[in-house]
Amino acid sequence: MNDHTPMKIFLDTADTSAIHKYFPTGLIDGVTTNPTLIMKSGRDPEDVYQELKDMGISDISMEVVGNSSEMIAEGSRLYEKFGKCCTVKVPCSPEGLYACKQLSRDLINVNVTLIFNAAQAILAHKAGAKYVSPFVGRLDDNSISGLEVVRSIADLYCRQGVCSTEILAASIRDVHRVTRSFYNGAHIVTMPPAVFGKMYNHVLTDKGLELFDEDWSKVTSNSGPSFGSFSQLQEANPGNELKDVMQKVRECSS
């Protein structure tokens, strides 16, 4: 798709400790949740939603179930309670799409989940969905390329000039599928925290940091206070640019 929507990363988890860990990076744009997983953790879903809202997360997918009337009533109640951070998540079923249509008329964002082909994405857009969520991993499990489904939806939306519905790739199990989902046209990829953590990793980055540490130790070993390794200094000054860290060293050494 070519509507210049910036890429967004969501965390797909009910583990608030993991969200607390990664949200301060400034790289997380939202959270998708599953009430079943929340309940298994022994917590009330709405307590979790409130904690995420208090954390500053501006987009939280909150799943509703039941028939269309029940989904509409519950979605409206959740939106009234949590405000604009609430995105109501409904299944791609006749009942779910009817609920999507009614909720979207009330300007409530809706995430239509359980998308497995482009035809369903057409219906979800027609129902007013803010997001459609193709399940990449689950498609792969059934010998269908999930990434190809993402690409087909993106191509179709692009050809039809669809800008109001964004593609949110879900059921992501590895970093490769994060990258390829974006490459194939997804606006958003939601992933487990473990996959997000692995996005930082590359063997050459690790080797480069090792070389930086070796060079840094040579710079600081001759004179001045001990700062530890370059990596340790960066960790002690999170969010600072390299030039700011170096300035601190010069000030302390003078």
Catalytic residue of the set 8, 21, 40, 89: 89
**Res. 42 pLDDT band, cuts 50 70 90:** confident
- Predicted confidence at residue 252, as pLDDT, reads 54
**Is residue 89 annotated as a catalytic residue, yes or no?**
yes
Give the mean pLDDT of 48-76: 97
- Boundaries of every domain in the chain: 8-198, 203-253
Position 77 pLDDT exceeds 80: yes
The average confidence (pLDDT) of the chain is 88
Question: By the 8 A CB rule, do 97 and 121 touch?
Answer: no
- Please write the tens of the pLDDT for every residue from 95-142: 999 999 999 999 999 999 999 999 999 999 999 999 999 999 999 999
**Res. 202 pLDDT band, cuts 50 70 90:** confident
CATH topology of domain 8-198: TIM Barrel (3.20.20)
**Res. 215 pLDDT band, cuts 50 70 90:** confident
The DSSP result for 150-217, as a single string, is HHHHHHHHHHHT--SSEEEEBS--SHHHHHHHHHTT-SEEEE-HHHHHHTT--HHHHHHHHHHHHHHH
- Residue that wins the pLDDT comparison between 242 and 152: 152
